[in-house]
Amino acid sequence: MAFVTHDGIQIFYEETGSGAPILFLHEYGGDYRSWEPQVRYFSRHYRCITMCNRGYPPSDVPDSPDQYGQDQNLGDILAVMDSLDLSDLVIIGLSMGAYNGLRLALSNPENVRALVAASGGSGSNPEGREAFREEAQKLSEQFLEHEFMPADGFANGPTRVQLKRKDPRGWQEFRDHLAEHPAVGAAHTLRNVQAERPSLYDFEDAFKACQVPTLLMVGDEDEACLDANVWLKRTMPTSGLYVVPKSGHLLNLEDPARFNQEVSDFLRAVDNGTWPVRDPVSATFAGVGPAVADPEK
């Protein structure tokens, strides 16, 4: 096992394959194992790095809530990047990992060649933000009553039942991995990272100026993330939005082949220089006539 130490916390990572680097960032309910369908596919041509956030074994699981937070999360990722000398890399993140990837595209654009942000944005919509925070605080208290994450209720949630419907065996594996997560890490991550991180909407000006090619992906049944992704598409001129029909939150597990193909097509377009910046004209059209004067006159 390989680790890097940041702020006295050991952060686990795993490398597979060789070539241009891809860093995979997991969701709240996952860990490095969640990316297995992608590592098996992309490691044939890329250097794939998976990692676990603090609070997720094999990384350390601190007992103190003060050792969890959005800044610590980003610092842990940067420590892995620095330790492995990762630059000009692709970041692929799901949910919490998508949020981290978006933040890194803003703060460290010189190191991020391309970003795939899947199922990101929960808790960001202004109208639902306070309810999201209150629910996170309540659930974190419930988790602390257990030794390990209470997996059944979470795995049967409204944006995860899609995986159960499509791939019962894959869902069972997800549920069993989730049940191995220490409750203390899950609780402190939910309370101090998820609930306390800034809304993506707070970075509107930075997203407008972002030049990192970005593929946004969201399931059409992922209600908590749909609006935020449409907003990101409208805000980020270098982004493209792929809405996956009849899908929930776990896009990379629900249909790994489709996920891998969409990401491959995106990376090919980035490499070929054919992933365009949005023409400002396309963002102003009201749908009732020509957006600009007749170019022939």
Judge whether 207 and 109 are in contact, CB under 8 Å. Answer: no
Check residue 56 and give left, alpha or beta (phi > 0: left; psi -120 to 50: alpha): beta
**What was the pLDDT predicted at 92?**
98
- Asked if the structure places residue 66 within a domain, the reply is yes
User: Which two three-digit tokens encode residue 15?
Assistant: 């490398």
Distances in Å between the alpha carbon of 284 and those of 278, 291, 295? 11, 7, 17
Look up residue 158 and give its DSSP letter.
T
- Asked if the structure places residue 247 within a domain, the reply is yes
**Region 51-55: what's the mean pLDDT?**
98
Residues β-bridged to residue 112: 89
**Region 254-274: what's the mean pLDDT?**
98
**Region 188-209: what's the mean pLDDT?**
96
pLDDT, tens only, 124-147: 888 888 999 999 999 999 999 999
User: Which two three-digit tokens encode residue 183?
Assistant: 């409750």
User: Which two three-digit tokens encode residue 32?
Assistant: 């490095």
Structural domain for 104, as ranges: 2-127+200-280
pLDDT at position 287 over 80: no
The whole-chain average pLDDT of the chain stands at: 95
**What was the pLDDT predicted at 105?**
98
**What was the pLDDT predicted at 1?**
83
Q: Which CATH number does the domain housing residue 122 bear?
A: 3.40.50.1820
Check residue 95 and give left, alpha or beta (phi > 0: left; psi -120 to 50: alpha): left
Judge whether 76 and 54 are in contact, CB under 8 Å. Answer: yes
**What was the pLDDT predicted at 281?**
86
pLDDT at position 295 over 70: no
Total tally of structural domains belonging to the chain: 1
Query: Is residue 80 exposed (0-12), middle (13-18) or buried (19+ Cβ within 10 Å)?
Result: buried
- Asked if the structure places residue 104 within a domain, the reply is yes
- Asked if the structure places residue 150 within a domain, the reply is no
CA angle centred on 173, ends 172 and 176, rounded to 5°? 85
Shortest CA distance to 126 belongs to which of 228, 28, 209?
Answer: 228
**Region 74-86: what's the mean pLDDT?**
97
Residue 155 exposure: Cα atoms within 13 Å on the Cβ side: 21
Pairing verdict, β 2-6 and 9-16: antiparallel
pLDDT at position 184 over 60: yes
- Cα–Cα distance measured from residue 297 to residue 281, given in angstroms and rounded to the nearest whole number: 18
- Cα–Cα distance measured from residue 177 to residue 109, given in angstroms and rounded to the nearest whole number: 33
**Region 99-120: what's the mean pLDDT?**
97
Judge whether 114 and 266 are in contact, CB under 8 Å. Answer: yes
Helices and strands (H and E) in the chain: how many:
12, 8
- Asked if the structure places residue 139 within a domain, the reply is no
- Asked if the structure places residue 291 within a domain, the reply is no
Residue 215 φ/ψ, nearest 5 degrees: -105, 115
Q: For the CA atoms of 266, 271, 275, 277, what is the dihedral angle to 10 degrees?
A: 130
Shortest CA distance to 249 belongs to which of 17, 33, 34?
Answer: 34
- Asked if the structure places residue 147 within a domain, the reply is no
- Asked if the structure places residue 146 within a domain, the reply is no
pLDDT at position 297 over 80: no
